[in-house]
Amino acid sequence: MRDRGLVLALLIPGLLAMLATFILPMAWLLRASFSTSTMVQVGFTLDHYRAALVDPFYWKVALNTLTLGLTVAGVAVVLAYPIALFLARTTSRWRGVLTALAVAPLLTSAVVRTYGWMVILGDRGVINGTLQSLSIIETPLRLSNNSFGATVALVEILMPYAILAMLAGFGRLSVQLEEAAAMLGANPLRVFWRIVLPLSLPGVLTGALLVFVLAISSFVTPRLMGGGRVFVLGTEVFSEATVTLNWSLAAALSVMLLVLFSSVIVIYQRALRRLEA
């Protein structure tokens, strides 16, 4: 009995922090989404939800968001997988340093790295500058200020998360299992296909989910790298909240985004658990 009391007491600071930073704002958001005023919370109406749901533009934006999320998650996972696999398997004494290097980009803010990508991919950026000085192209290639730029920057910005999630999810992978498979006659390709891939799949899927969630909720990078042309739910919520000051619509859009993607996460994790069983 006393132990339970102690556990509760220890939980209180965390719960209070959760209440203040997560539950209360969430409640506020929910309340605002039903408000009859665009700014203050009065009355009750479903108009904002109706407005968002009947507007084909928002459906298109939702589809854009989904496409961006899936593309970024797919590419980030494909690029991060070999790195994570190498880091998980290497016995080099530099392993710690290499792992730190792989996730070091997290030490810089996403905004700073977005600016970095603008410098690299811009019309007068490093890539176009090099190609032009080598006379390979005449007019600059459009590498940023579109969804390509947004995708590239998001992939790079979110890759460290993918690597971390994968490393955490590679627990069942072991060199000994690969050796056992080889002893049983599996060539390196089959070892990868039958042993490494299935055992690393939970890590890969966790990484993909994490990147997907971060990508669909991003708005700074799509806005800056997209040149305003990339319309995703994050940028729409931002613009409704800060430009047109329609806070209730912004809240309704946020709530829908939240409901939609948290159900995706729940379904996904259930599937993941089955895979790991």
Partner 1 sequence: MTERHVSVENLVKTYPGAAKPSVDDVSFSLPRGEMLALLGPSGCGKTTILRMIAGLVEPTSGSIRLNGREVSGIPVYKRNMGMVFQAYALFPHMTVAENIAFGLEMRGIAKADRAAKVARALDLVKLSGLGDRRITQLSGGQQQRCAIARSLVIEPELLLLDEPLSNLDAKLRDEMRDEIREIQGRTGVTAIFVTHDQDEALSMADRLAVMSAGRLEQIGTPRQIFDRPETEFVASFIGAGNFLNGRVTAAGEAAVDGFGALRFVGDAAVGQDVRLMVRPHRLVMGGAANSFTGTVEHIVYRGQILTMTVRAGETRLQADLHTHAGALPEKGQTVTLGVAPEDVTFIGRAA
Partner 2 sequence: MKAITLTLAALLASGGAYAQEVNVIGFSGVFADNYQKFIIEPFEAANPGITVNYQPSKNSAETLALLTRQAANPTIDVALLDIAVAIKANEAGLFSQLDEAGVPNIAQAPDWARVDEDRSVAFSQDNLAILYNTETVTEPPTSWNDLADPKYKGRIAAKLGDTRGVILIPILTKMAGGNYKDSIEPAIEAMNAFGPNVLTWEPAPDCYAVVQSGEVDLSICWNGRAQYLHDTQGGTIGVAAPVEGSIGQTSAISLVEGSPDAEAAKKFIDYALGAEAQGTFAEKSFYGPVNTTVELAPEVAQRIYGGPEAQAAQMTLDWQWVSGVYSQWIQRINREVIAFN
- Residue (30 or 197) nearer to partner 1, CB: 197
Rg (CA), the chain: 23
Q: For the segment 120-179, give every residue that binds partner 2 (CB under 8 A).
A: 122-124, 139-140, 142, 145
Q: For the segment 37-96, give every residue that binds partner 2 (CB under 8 A).
A: 37, 39-40, 57
Binding-site member from 113, 246, 260, 264 for partner 2 (CB under 8 A):
246
Binding-site member from 51, 103, 177, 264 for partner 1 (CB under 8 A):
177
Contact 208, 169 (CB under 8 A): no
Q: Rounded to whole angstroms, how far apart are CA atoms 126 and 39?
A: 45
User: Would you count residue 241 as binding partner 1 (CB under 8 A)?
Assistant: no
Q: Rounded to whole angstroms, how far apart are CA atoms 185 and 71?
A: 37
Choose the contact partner of 174 out of partner 1, partner 2, none; CB within 5 to 8 A by kind. Answer: partner 1
Read out DSSP for 208-262? HHHHHHHHHT--HHHHHHTTT----HHHHHHHHHHTS--HHHHHHHHHHHHHHHH
Q: Rounded to whole angstroms, how far apart are CA atoms 83 and 93?
A: 16
Choose the contact partner of 107 out of partner 1, partner 2, none; CB within 5 to 8 A by kind. Answer: none
User: Would you count residue 198 as binding partner 1 (CB under 8 A)?
Assistant: yes
Q: Compute CA 99 distance to the chain's CA centroid, rounded to the nearest angstrom.
A: 20
Binding-site member from 50, 60, 142, 190 for partner 1 (CB under 8 A):
190
User: Would you count residue 135 as binding partner 1 (CB under 8 A)?
Assistant: no
- Residue (55 or 276) nearer to partner 1, CB: 276
User: Would you count residue 27 as binding partner 2 (CB under 8 A)?
Assistant: no
Backbone angles phi, psi at 244, to 5 degrees: -90, -5
Read out DSSP for 103-145? HGGGGS-HHHHHHHHHHHHSTTSHHHHHHHHTTS-SSPP--SS
Binding site for partner 1 (CB under 8 A): 172, 174, 176-177, 179-187, 190, 194-195, 198-199
Binding site for partner 2 (CB under 8 A): 37, 39-40, 57, 114-115, 118, 122-124, 139-140, 142, 145, 223-224, 226-229, 231, 239, 241-246
